[in-house]
Structure 1
Amino acid sequence: MTPAFATPLQGRSAGLRLDTLIRLRWLAVAGQLVAVVVVHFALGFHLPIMLCLALVALSALVNVALRMKYPVARRLGDDAAGALLAYDVLQLTALLYLTGGLKNPFVLLYLAPVMISATALARTTTILLGILVAICAGAVGLWAKPLPWYDGTPFILPNLYLAGVWVAVIVAIGFIGIYSWRVTEEARELGNALAATELVLAREQHISALDGLAAAAAHELGTPLSTIALVVKEMQRSIPPDSPHGEDVALLRDQVNRCRDILQTLTSLRSGDAPFDRMPVRLLLEEVVEPHRNFGISIIIDVPEDADRPVIARNPGLLYGLGNLVENAVDFASGKVEISAAWTPTSLVIIVQDDGPGFSPEVSARIGQPYVTSRARDRQEPDEESGLGLGVFIAKTLLERTGATLSFGNKPAPAAGARIKITWPRSALAIEMEDNARTQRAPGTLTPPPA
């Protein structure tokens, strides 16, 4: 095995499990053995049977040696995995040399190692493996033993046809390799994007959990701190005014008061009416919109000033999802983004719309799926980042986890721009009316949601 094909790990390749390669090679060994035995003994075509069986046995011995030397769960880097796949190419080349070269229909098996490399290894490894396959296919096309055929009837194909077979193999390797690599790369990018999003949300959840622990600590420390304050007060009363310990007791009293103020602050941050825990719809939308106000786009928030405004629990997934939709609207808007909210006794509706070009017909039916984007069409600069089309997909996924239903479309003619409608049932968000969070709710008529 040539060291040139043992390339270092590159890109985001995760390598291959040794067990996967061993199982695939056992499958190849079984297939080669059946093909050789059937062709030679059942069909009566005379092969150099001993040499063919020796090559098949060599692959079996390599598998046994790998299984005995390395653990099953061992994951190979690009160099080792590429070397093993290169061995498979060379072993297949030797078999084809003995059985007719490019005249043998099993020449299509050259595609297997390249496809495996394209789905799991780095791009450089796949390219080098494809070059090796091209060289080996050309070699067996020029130098190979005759294809076993009926006695006295030589099987001869024109050289032009054999050249066409070689070109077809090369084209198939290139197409399948590029296709497999792109599909796998998109899957990796999607997995990385979702993992990053989950990490951000996990950190926000962790911060919220720390707030809860702080409130619990403040509650538990309140009783011993009160005892310390009582003891300090009694000590201050019992010592004479000219005692040298007077200053120490006074300092201790000040520190106790300071601790009490800190604990009261922590408790107030976790109270039932804390803005960090629950907030009215308008305040929630203001928090979502705030990072996007300084980009030259006017953002208008329209929330009815009713007495019965909903109060929503602060949810990281909801904030991230709405923020992503607002960011997309700001990116595509010509000058204005409008965000409106309305509610009924059973649902809450938020609508995000802009005055940009809107969703194009070719993507409107697939909005919300991964890798659906129109940024490349709309970007102003040639080198501007076009995006992967994952933002809306991630936002849609996160909002649906909170119980929302999303619909994507354009504003009714003659107006221009995109329109996204997000609807939650009240039970999904544990919505309370603003007056209910404090006192008995005043009677009133709820605002109907927009169409």
Structure 2
Amino acid sequence: MRDLAPVSFGREARRLKLDTIVRLRWLAVTGQCLAVSVVHLHLGYRLPFLTCLAVIAAAAAVNLWITLREPASHRLAENPATALLAFDIVQLAALLYLTGGLQNPFAVLFLAPVLISAASLSPMRTLGLGLLAAFSATILARLHLPLPWSVPGGLVLPDVYVAGIWTAILLAIAFTAGFAYRVAEEARQLGEALAATEFVLAREQHLSQLDGLAAAAAHELGTPLATIRLVAKELDLQAEPGSAMAEDTRLLRDEVERCRVILSKLTSLGDEEGHGFLATMSLGHVIEEVVEPQRSFDVEFVINRTGDGPEPVCRRSPGLMFSLGNLVDNAAGFAQARILIEARWNAEIVSIEIRDDGPGFASEVLLRVGEPYVTTRGHNRDEEGGGGLGLGLFIAKTLIERSGAQLTLWNAGPPNGGAVARIMWPRAEFERGVGRSSTDLGTEALSQAEPLPI
């Protein structure tokens, strides 16, 4: 499989944005102020009000300091981001110590800094912050001031209930942090894989635009060729009939005329009516083009084409050629001796099935084949290069599905075994942008409609 190395956006793009953490902390400071003020001033519960305000003011002071120190668009490195989130945990622990410890229902806010870390920092940093939050919750389970209450002496909750709260907080930290990290990591991998897909598609599109470059080159060569033709004509007039010079000048004029014909064909490649023969491909030509680079390997290719009616024709698409090439390349990399490619079509469906006689897909990854960074096979038949990163098949699957087809992968049963890849299009999708013409020897011709959506 022609897997690509993962596209790196750099650590800078993954770092926590300063503006994000500043806004979240202002939200926390506002909520803490409202909660403490309502409990003490409105409900009349007794608590160390000024000390609580001092703890909240410390968080506000840190927020002001980092706001003045760095621009809002600054992205924090892992060390300062971890330090700021650790400060949030300690500040919350101090506030909970003053207001009842784990008996305070706001103890659940221990989850917030750990969740932020799981979504933006490395797993080791998240583990460290999770352990800090768990340690703080453990201390607060036994060491804290009384929970503010309206009656003298406050409300004392049973130890078993506090132990339940402590257990719930620890489990919530572990579960939500793991879940948030997994979701964020999958989103990052998907973003990188899609960027790789766009890069490959742009590269293939660039290769498909060589006809335009050829037309430009032909246009530039027209002027010197006309000069050569004029000089050859003058030399032919000056040469004596039947002489060697006359034969040479006549040959020169013939070759110049031949070059003019070739250049006229190249110039027509960029015209809407002149490159239809290159803009379209029959199903058989598509298969031959993706198989040809693999024929140099010690693998036999058997190609069967059967169907009802004329062979379907599609517009030449860089994405389609690249994705089919990946699947054939993958089969060639794992086949023992033979690859069977069967193309079938009828009035409704066009399908291509690629079978190899290799070891097939590993059972533990078969259900996830096509996801980014999931390798397709366990071992290469040459034991070189490993299985890649899984980006090649992800790109192929993405481009094939964009063309309106469905890719299905499975392992063939005995006696032959091996992997099977089937691509199936509705015929209308495969032939989108293609019209019938009575010209071109009665074969399929192409109109210049919108291209296959890949």
Q: With structure 2 as the length reference, what TM-score do the two structures score?
A: 0.72
Is there any run of 5+ residues in structure 1 with no aligned partner, and where? 1-9, 241-249, 443-451
User: SS of the residue aligned with 2:93?
Assistant: helix
Contact preservation (8 Å) 1:138, 1:166? yes
Does the 8 A contact of 1:310 with 1:431 survive in 2?
no
Deviation of residue 118 (structure 1)? 0.6
CA–CA distance in structure 1, aligned partners of residues 224 and 432 of structure 2: 38
* Residue 440 of structure 2 is aligned to residue 438 of structure 1: yes
1:218 aligns with 218
Q: In 2, distance between residues paired with 1:333 and 1:12?
A: 42
Stretch deviating more after TM superposition (320-329 or 412-421) = 412-421
Equivalent residue runs for 1:26-425 within 5 Å: 26-157=26-157, 162-163=162-163, 165-222=165-222, 224-230=223-229, 232-233=231-232, 264=263, 267=266, 270=269, 277-290=279-292, 299-304=301-306, 308-326=310-328, 337-344=339-346, 348-353=350-355, 370=371, 394-405=395-406, 418=420, 420-425=422-427
Deviates more, 1:415-424 or 1:367-376: 367-376
2:299–2:339 CA contact under 8 A, matched in 1: yes
- 2-structure distance, mates of 1:203, 1:233: 42
Deviation at 1:371, TM superposition (A): 6.7
* Cα distance change of structure 1 residues 349 and 190 upon mapping to structure 2, 3 Å threshold: same
* CA spacing shift, 1:436–1:129, aligned 2, 3 Å: farther
> How much does 1:184 deviate?
1.2
- Give the conservation status (yes or no) of the 8 Å contact 2:407–2:421: no
Greater CA deviation, 120-129 or 263-272? 263-272
The change in CA–CA distance for 1:227 and 1:261 in structure 2 (over 3 A counts) is closer
State how far apart, in whole Å, the 2-side matches of 1:102 and 1:308 are.
Answer: 76
State the shift of 1:235 in Å. Answer: 7.8
Q: CA deviation at 1:193?
A: 1.4
Q: Distance in 2 between matches of 1:386 and 1:410?
A: 17
Identical positions, percent:
42
TM-superposed deviation, 1:328: 5.8
CA distance in 1, matches of 2:97, 2:36: 14
Query: How far apart in 2 are the matches of 1:305 and 1:348?
Result: 9
Hey, what does 1:3 align to over in structure 2? none
Query: 1:439 aligns to what SS in structure 2?
Result: helix
Change (3 A) 1:73 1:372: closer
Separation of aligned partners in 2, 1:385 and 1:359: 14
Question: What is the deviation of 1:201?
Answer: 1.3
Q: Which residue of 1 aligns with 2:7?
A: none
RMSD: 4.8
Whether the aligned pair in 1 keeps the contact of 2:304 and 2:342 (CA below 8 Å) is yes
Tell me if the contact between 1:269 and 1:276 (Cα under 8 Å) persists in the aligned partners: no
Structure 2: stretches of 5+ with no match in the other structure: 1-9, 240-248, 445-454
